[in-house]
Structure 1
Amino acid sequence: MRGTLFADAPDGFPRSRGDAFAVVDARGTVTNWTPGAERLLGWAAAEARGPVSRLLWSRADGARLAGLVCPEHSVFLGPLLLRHREGTPVGVVLWGHPLAPDQWLLQAENAEAVRHDDLLGALLHGLFTESPFIIDVFDTDLCFLARNDSRIRATGFPDDFVGRTMREVSPPGLLDADAFEARQRLVLTSGRAMIGSEVRGRDPRDPDRDTVWSETILPLRGADGDVVALAHMVFDLTTEARARERLDLVNEASARIGSTLDVLHTAQELTDVAVPRFADFSYVNLLDTVLGGEEPRPGPVAETVPLRRAAATMVPDGPARTVVSPGEVDHFASMPGTPAARALATGKPVLLTGEELLVELEAADPVRAQLIRGFAVRSWLLVPMFARGAALGVVLFVRFSRAHSFEADDVLLAQEFVARAAVCIDNASRYTRERATAMTLQRNLLPQRLPLLATVETASRHLSRGSHAGLGGSWFDVIPLSGARTALVIGEAGGRGLHSAVSMGRLRTAVRTLADLDMAPEELLTHLSDQVKRFQDEQGGPTPGAAAPTCLYAIFDPITMRSLMASAGHAMPARLSPEGEVSVTGTPATPALGTGGVPFECAEMAHADGDLLALYTDGLLAPESGGGAVLRLGEALAGAGASAGSEPGEVADETLRRLVPGGHPGEDVSLLVARLHRLPPDRYATWDLPDAPESVGRARGLVTGKLAEWELAELEFTTELLVSELVTNAIRYGSPPVRLRLIRDRRLICEVGDGSSTSPHVRRALETDEGGRGLYLVSQLASLWGTRYHARGKTLWAEQPLPAPDGAPDDT
């Protein structure tokens, strides 16, 4: 410890101490005794005179002491036990000093007191000469009184520091002198210690990085309790602080990297975390297989594999020019023998100085070498990125504006958050791959193209959820039915991902199968709901947390210009009239598919020629619902109808633009727009026939005449056969009334209805049977045929393709 406070202290600690003295002559007789000795052993001076051996606890100590004393100088006689007047032992430490020829002065001190003083001395010696702490003592004017010579004290302090303040003697930039003096004054005025404050400064030995200290200021009090000085103790926490900063960076990387399931966004998050806290420039190069969502192959990477720039971040004041832009192939990194190739081959990071990097670049990439030379790159760290044993790419960190190169701890830190980012990028790549698979499956399960119908013009649009959300299960369909009718279907399978896409495919298949049976909408939904229950039973019950499937089924008849529709938990369609008015048919609330409850009900809607019908899923109006959402849909549909052309596709596009800005909905969106047209009266004919065998011949004549009018004479023969068999079947097995209808739509349709609900079926007649071949003949002549039931009986129908116009393909 140096300073005026300790200026008179001798080197080392005194070897003799205590006020107990005795004078002993050459014969070992005590001749003099001091009051201090009387206090120590209880013997008065008169009692103590005599042989010194009387005062020893062990008489053997007398001979030992006689051999230790020296007539030339003082000697330490060591610890021993003396006898107290009361007969108890007293531990002391004894010194001998020569007085005169044949006389010695013995000095004793209580051994416990000596031990206490030695411990105190050792403590002071450790604190002020060997302590890892910086220790200063200041007076009440904030001037130095003393300081220790700690090895961690910054360089640049003068030797003549006593009587001067820290502001006057500290090296420039070491600390904030104003803040330090404010802390000193606070302790002086409050009398309370300030313990463990973290302060930062710049040590002259390392001027480019903060040095962190833990500072304690203690008040030193006099006998009256007043503060007479300040003790200032400092411990260097720089190593711990930098380790904490590295840990904070790892934690920040864990929190910020991987916020989405997008590969490029995740790569950008990695470089944004690294710059500027860890590096001045950083980029991520990924393999094309990773960016494309392909399964990476474990094991070594070929030396010529292309690496594509996925993300890059530069400090704001860094060079603006870069060699490779995001999305481009980094040709240097993709070359064999480069640091990137070595890192991918070995799985170990590559750390180069600026000079070493220039050597690598001079021959392979002179343009980049020139840039590196202009950057004055100090340190270049390339870390390979692996996940599940497969290479994903490389991450580069560059320092050029800071004085310190990457150290061993920095390499470990870079590997840590690159490894964390690798997991996130691998997850994002796998998600991209699985999502692409699911979307491909979903696209293949949706109609690839809608049928071209004369009475219904349709257009569909399907938007999947945003790229960071799970795939939904919305779907739609357009199904041609008998009698020139058309079924319009839309629904949602519920759930997310592949399971939802598969469920959607099963629902669509089930609806098509039931639609072929020509069921009424409410009856079809009842059967579909039962089928959903069977699906759920196969899977062990409904999927937890998934919404129940919904469906809307509508049948449009272009002859009556009416639609019948039923809903299973789905929104009803919106109708846009040719005059621009929007309306929605309301039906009682019905349960979703597979949930049971109240039966499904059928609603009817009348149409004008040119009406526009819009069927949609809830995602179109999300997150709104209820009346406000329907009003918003009406406004968008009316606006789309007014601004767009008459084509349903144009109306659909404009509606989506108004309701889903940007084209990235929060939920799957399906929109089916249908323009409805009346079938012209000259394209169909209806006749009521008497319930008599003669009606068969009349029916053939009526049909022949109509075909001649339609210029379809080449279909007369097969049509007469079909009509003969259908009418004969109705008269023989059915009941009145019997009605014949001939429709010329995209195909020629023959329908015969009667009042019976008896189900006809095809059977194989024996050679000896006189009848039973009618429906078999119908099945052979017609391209499609079937039966549909209604409230007053049934209708048998059969379709034939129309002759193809010259140069046009036959519609089969």
Structure 2
Amino acid sequence: MISPKPGGWPYAFDGLATAVLDSRGTVLGWTETAADLTGLTAKDVCGRPVQELLADLPGDADAATEIPAFGQVRLRHRSGEIIPVTFRATRVTGSSDLLVVAAPTQNVSDQQQGVDLLRAFSSQDRIAIALHDRDLFIVHSNNLSGVFGCPPVPPRGRLRDVLMDGDAEETEAFLRQVLDTGAPLVRRDQPVRWRHDQARQRAMSLSAFRLEDERGRPTGVAALYIDTTDQWRARRDLDLARKTAERVGGSLDVVRTAQDLADVTAPAFGDFAAVDLAEAVFDGDEPAKRLGGGDLRLRNAAMAPAAAGWPAGIERGDPVPPFLDHPVVRSFQHGETVILSRDEYISVIGDPQRVEFLLPKGCHSVMVAPLHARGLTLGDVSVWRVGSSVPFTEDEADLMAQIASRGALAIDNARRYTREHRAAVALQRRLLPPATTDAPAGETAGVYLPAGGGAEIGGDWFDAIALPSLRLALVAGDVVGHGMSASATMGRLRAAIQTLADLELEPDELLTRIADLVQRLATEAPPADQDTVGATCLYAVYDPVTQCCTLASAGHPPPVLVRPNGTVEVVEVSPGPPLAIGGMPYETTTIDLEPGSVLALYTDGLIEREGDDIGQGLRHLMDTLAATCRPERPLDETGAALLANLADQAPRDDAALLLARTRAVPAKDTAQWQIPADPAAVSEARAWTTRQLARWGLDDLLFTTELIVSELVTNAIRYGRPPAELRLIRHDVLVCEVTDSSPTQPRLRRAATTDEGGRGLFLVAQLAMRWGCRYSPGGKTIWAEQLIEYPH
């Protein structure tokens, strides 16, 4: 008796029922599998016609003895169940007996469908199927060599015979997982390298499921291998294009944009990448057009990775060495992306030692794409591959050209912004006053901080204007909006304020005039921009003789005062409407300032801190002033400390700050004399002036000063109203002031030859360095200044 092997019969032989029939169809032999199939033993059926076992008896008994070579019949089980079977009959050699082999029709159909499925898979030219046994040896494969172009797998070979070791181990690990768990693996994509073509990376999709016998015992793994290199490259290209669109162009800084482009291309596209730009691009200018070899005037703008792998000594910002007049260079300058091997790159450079200094270690292939935008070649992006990576292909050159095109547009946008921003900053700096001033009334220090860490300029400004009689005007203003238009509006307002300040208007009157100007500017603007034209302003005038400061605000934040003893307070100012709103009055506030007091004028960008309200920002400003504003510390250092925190936060709005430390004219340098309402008082005024100048040691100015005093006092007595006063102020100039209670405006005119008067102010204008008139609620003051030349 033949006994099955320990592992059981092969699945293909399971369930086969066998019988031996004579020529009449009588059962001569009956196997155990036949008994299992019908429930009838050999004792039950031997000697009986086989037709008695059929569920459908043929009508013709003679025909029943005709047993065909193959067919399908229905057997009746001992239990009465009908069993469809498929059989095959073969005559025994040298005998009339027949050997009949039968199996359930369903089993035969399943096996036939399995064979058909395997045959269909085996005939595919884009799908490779491999059957692995339990030790993962390949027992059958249809088309591995055809799909992947690899050599045929040897009998009972392993994946490591065709795949590189690392890729083979990774793939077999997944096959082992399927064999152990029974969980199928579906479409797992992985990059692989084949032993026959190690330099070229390809992509493979792996699907696998466990093979089992009829008892569910694992017998191996069926694996489907599909070459997905084209799809993998397409996804890689799409991902690279998407990353380029997302990351490149988000900044308007040329160097930052170049670095983003380098970071996108390495390591996704190559092992190393560098972006070189024309030197003019860094400054926002257009690069010169050059053809042929020589110095292309390029400078490195970005490298990726930032440090590792580059030759020692290469740093960002280094100039790119000159090239020979090589056809490759000319192709690049005409906008073509070029691929070079290491030897070809050496021929372009012309110096092997320089190549060793320039190229990353182990580099074997380089691709250089021009950054070409709007007819300008801005520079290039170079990508290197090193080690075992594959050389660049022409298909990749097309992709690199698309990436470079997008990067070039982003860099050109940044370049144009750099040019416009540089022009706007230059305009802003030209429009702003000197950062520090030193006047008899005090010293000042101003600081301006553009918005966004310098990315945006706006219309914030400060000013310190020297006025007659040693007085000082302090200004802080904020124009609505940003950019060139805000800067231009700021320049016009600053010029207007300087002009009106020379007219010595009171702060409230000056702001009223400026408000009228802003309204005119709004009407001149395009209709869509008229509602955005506006400004706020704080104007203050400090008199070092009286030590009084008069202020008026047009919707501007109040100033902060630091007393000489270190106390800090907010000056209470009655805020008027912003300058764009007309028809509303402005109010003045007068405060006393001790010598050494620091008055801080600022714009709202200084106190608008992210996450805080205006009150918190103002308190922060006061605390910083209390900590940093010291009598011995220069004002410019204090201003820099105030803006240090704000600069770190890249404020959303620009900010301006003006610090003014006040001084006082000593009492010994001023003298006043009340003018009687009597024409004879003119001679008394001259005598008083002579005595005062003698005390001050200004004898050289005695003659001209007597004439000036004589003319001004005469006009006050003749045309003015009492009370009147003569005042002399000594500093680096000698100021002569005559004040009366009449608002009548003096006029300078040229008298005719026959006129007996009218030459007074003309004479004053000729003798004084400058002269003028200012008005107050109590009258007017006519003044004249003469330069004092002290001996060295």
TM-score with structure 2 length normalisation? 0.76
Q: For residues 620 and 542 of structure 1, do their structure 2 counterparts lie closer, same or farther at Cα, with a shift above 3 Å needed? A: farther
- Distance (whole Å) between structure 1 residues aligned to residue 623 and residue 767 of structure 2: 50
- Among candidates 677, 687, 695, match of residue 663 of structure 2: 677
Counterparts of 1:637 and 1:171, CA distance in 2: 70
Match of residue 441 from structure 2: 455
When residues 477 and 589 of structure 1 are mapped into structure 2, their CA distance, relative to the original with a 3 A threshold, is: closer
- The answer as to whether partners of 2:292 and 2:330 remain within 8 angstroms in 1 is no
* Structure 2 counterpart of 1:236: 227
* Paired residue type of 1:532: V
C-alpha separation between the residues in 1 aligned to 2:709 and 2:536?
41
Answering whether residue 342 of structure 2 is matched by residue 386 of structure 1, we say: no
- When residues 300 and 494 of structure 1 are mapped into structure 2, their CA distance, relative to the original with a 3 A threshold, is farther
Query: Quick one: distance in 2 between partners of 1:511 and 1:310?
Result: 45
Match of 2:259 in 1: 268
Against the structure 1 CA distance between its residues 281 and 515, is the aligned structure 2 distance closer, same or farther, given a 3 Å change threshold?
same
Distance 1:542 1:222, change over 3 A: same
Partner residue in 2 for 1:805: 790
Structure 1 counterpart SS, 2:690: helix
> Which runs of structure 2 are paired with 1:116-127 in the superposition (5 Å)?
127=121
Matched residue of 1:252: which SS?
A: helix
Aligned partners of 1:229, 1:381: CA distance in 2, in Å? 46
Whether 1:629 aligns to 2:617 is yes
Between the aligned partners of 2:292 and 2:429, the Cα distance in structure 1 is 35
Indicate conservation of the 8 Å contact 2:545/2:664, yes or no. Answer: yes
Equivalent pair of 2:162/2:195 in contact (CA under 8 Å): no
Question: Distance between the aligned counterparts of 2:462 and 2:664, measured in 1?
Answer: 23
- Equivalent residue of 1:271, what SS? helix
CA distance in 1, matches of 2:356, 2:160: 46
SS in 1 for 2:469: helix
Change (3 A) 1:598 1:6: farther
Structure 1 residue 267: Cα displacement: 1.9
Aligned to 2:317: 327
What SS does the aligned partner of 1:502 have?
helix
- Among candidates 453, 457, 462, match of residue 476 of structure 1: 462
Distance 1:458 1:437 in 2: 27
1:149 to 135, 138, 143: 143
Per-residue deviation, 1:356: 2.6
Q: Tell me how far 1:257 sits from its aligned partner.
A: 2.0
C-alpha separation between the residues in 1 aligned to 2:171 and 2:473?
82
1:276-291 matched pairs, under 5 angstroms: 276-291=267-282
Matches within 5 A, 1:398-409: 398-409=384-395
Please tell me whether residue 177 in structure 1 is matched to residue 161 in structure 2. no
Cα distance in structure 1, aligned partners of 2:681 and 2:294: 86
One-letter identity of the residue aligned with 1:416 = Q
Q: Secondary structure at the match of 2:493?
A: helix
Deviations 1:256-290 (A, max 9, x none): 22332222222222222222222222222222211
Q: Distance in 2 between matches of 1:718 and 1:523?
A: 34
Alignment partner of 1:445 is 2:439: no
Q: Secondary structure at the match of 1:613?
A: strand
Q: Distance in 2 between matches of 1:714 and 1:350?
A: 83
How far does the alpha carbon of each residue in 1:405-456 deviate from its partner, in whole angstroms, 9 at most, with x for none? Answer: 0111221222222222222222222222222222222212122475542231
Superposed CA deviations along residues 82-131 of structure 1, whole A, max 9, x for unmatched, are xxxxxxxxxxxxxxxxxxxxxxxxxxxxxxxxxxxxxx999997653244
Instruction: Name which of 320, 330, 333 aligns with 1:342.
Output: 330
Change (3 A) 1:369 1:305: closer
Give, in whole Å, the separation in 1 of the partners of 2:573 and 2:438: 30
Aligned to 2:595: 609
Separation in structure 2 between the aligned mates of residue 168 and residue 207 of structure 1, nearest angstrom: 13
**2:346 matches 1:358:** yes
| 2:243 pairs with 1:259 | no
Distance 1:245 1:231 in 2: 29
Q: Cα–Cα, structure 1 residues 489 and 526, in superposed 2: closer, same or farther, change >3 Å?
A: same
Return closer, same or farther for 1:227/1:184 CA change in 2, 3 Å cut-off: closer
Q: What is the distance in 1 between the residues matched to 2:115 and 2:583?
A: 92
Is residue 785–residue 799 contact of structure 1 (8 Å, CA) maintained in 2?
yes
Aligned equivalents of 1:372 and 1:457: distance in 2? 55
State whether structure 2 residue 509 is matched by structure 1 residue 518: no
SS of the residue 1:775 aligns to = helix
Contact 1:246/1:413 (<8 A) preserved = yes
Alpha-carbon distance, 1:379 to partner = 0.7
Say if 1:602 and 1:209 are closer, same or farther in 2 by CA, change over 3 A.
farther
Residues 706, 444 of structure 1: alpha-carbon distance in 2 compared, 3 angstrom cutoff: same
| Secondary structure of residue in 2 paired with 1:473 | strand
1:295-333 alpha-carbon deviations (Å, 9 max, x no partner): 3345747733322222222487635525x43222222xx
2:642 alignment partner in structure 1: 655
| Preserved contact between residue 202 and residue 209 of structure 1 (Cα < 8 Å) | yes
Of stretches 661-670 and 400-409 in structure 1, the one that deviates more from structure 2 is 661-670
- The superposition leaves residues 137-167 of structure 1 with CA deviations (integer Å, 9 ceiling, x where unpaired) of 7899999896543621574665656xx9999
Match of 1:742 in 2: 728
Partner in structure 1 of residue 570 of structure 2: 584
- Please report how far the alpha carbon of residue 748 of structure 1 lies from its aligned counterpart in structure 2 after TM superposition: 1.6
Of stretches 689-698 and 675-684 in structure 1, the one that deviates more from structure 2 is 689-698
Quickly say closer, same or farther: Cα 1:508–1:177, change in 2 above 3 A. same
- Judged with a 3 Å threshold, the aligned counterparts in structure 2 of structure 1 residues 565 and 233 are, in CA distance, closer, same or farther, namely same
Q: Distance in 1 between matches of 2:233 and 2:214?
A: 43
SS of 1:421's partner is: helix
Q: CA deviation at 1:598?
A: 5.0
TM, length-normalised to structure 1: 0.75
Q: Which moved more, 1:247-256 or 1:440-449?
A: 440-449
Which residue, 627, 631, 645 being the options, matches 1:639? 627
2:510 match: secondary structure: helix
Q: After the TM superposition, which of the residue ranges 371-380 and 550-559 deviates more from structure 2?
A: 371-380
Other structure's SS at 2:480 match: coil
Unpaired runs of at least 5, structure 1: 8-44, 46-119, 808-812
Question: How far does residue 608 in structure 1 lie from its aligned partner after superposition?
Answer: 1.3
Question: Secondary structure of the equivalent of 1:559?
Answer: coil
**Which AA in structure 2 matches 1:152?**
V
Residue 679 (structure 1) shift: 0.9
Structure 2 Cα separation of the partners of residues 317 and 509 of structure 1 = 55
Corresponding position of 1:108:
none
Cα distance in 1, alignment partners of residues 164 and 343 from structure 2: 34
Return the alpha-carbon distance in structure 1 between the equivalents of residues 310 and 598 of structure 2: 58
Cα distance between partner residues in 2 of 1:756 and 1:630: 43
| 2:773 corresponds to 1:778 | no
Matches within 5 A, 1:536-551: 536-540=522-526, 543=529, 548-551=534-537
Alpha-carbon offset, residue 631 of structure 1:
2.1
Amino acid at match of 1:519: L
Deviates more, 1:134-143 or 1:256-265: 134-143
Moved more, 198-207 or 787-796: 198-207
Percent identity at matched positions? 37
> Residue by residue, what CA displacement relative to the aligned partner does 1:550-577 show, whole Å, maximum 9, x if unpaired?
2111111112211111122222222111
How far residue 532 of structure 1 moved from its aligned partner, in angstroms, is 0.9
The question of whether the paired residues in 2 share the 8 Å contact of 1:155 and 1:171 is answered with no
Matches within 5 A, 1:3-14: none
* Partner Cα distance (1:371, 1:762) in 2: 79
Question: More displaced, 396-405 or 764-773?
Answer: 764-773
8 Å Cα contact 2:741/2:779 also seen in 1: yes
CA separation of 1:480 and 1:130: change in aligned 2, threshold 3 A: closer
Query: What secondary structure is seen at the aligned counterpart in 2 of 1:579?
Result: coil
CA distance in 1, matches of 2:438, 2:550: 21
Using a 3 Å threshold, how does the CA distance of structure 1 residues 315 and 293 change in structure 2: closer, same or farther? closer
- CA spacing shift, 1:603–1:423, aligned 2, 3 Å: same
Contact 2:163–2:195 (Cα < 8 Å) also in 1: no
- Indicate if the aligned counterparts of 1:340 and 1:394 stay in contact, CA closer than 8 A: no
Q: CA deviation at 1:531?
A: 0.6
Deviation at 1:767, TM superposition (A): 3.1
Residue identity opposite 1:327 in structure 2: G
Does the aligned pair in 2 maintain the 1:134–1:235 contact within 8 Å?
yes
2:115 equivalent to 1:132: no
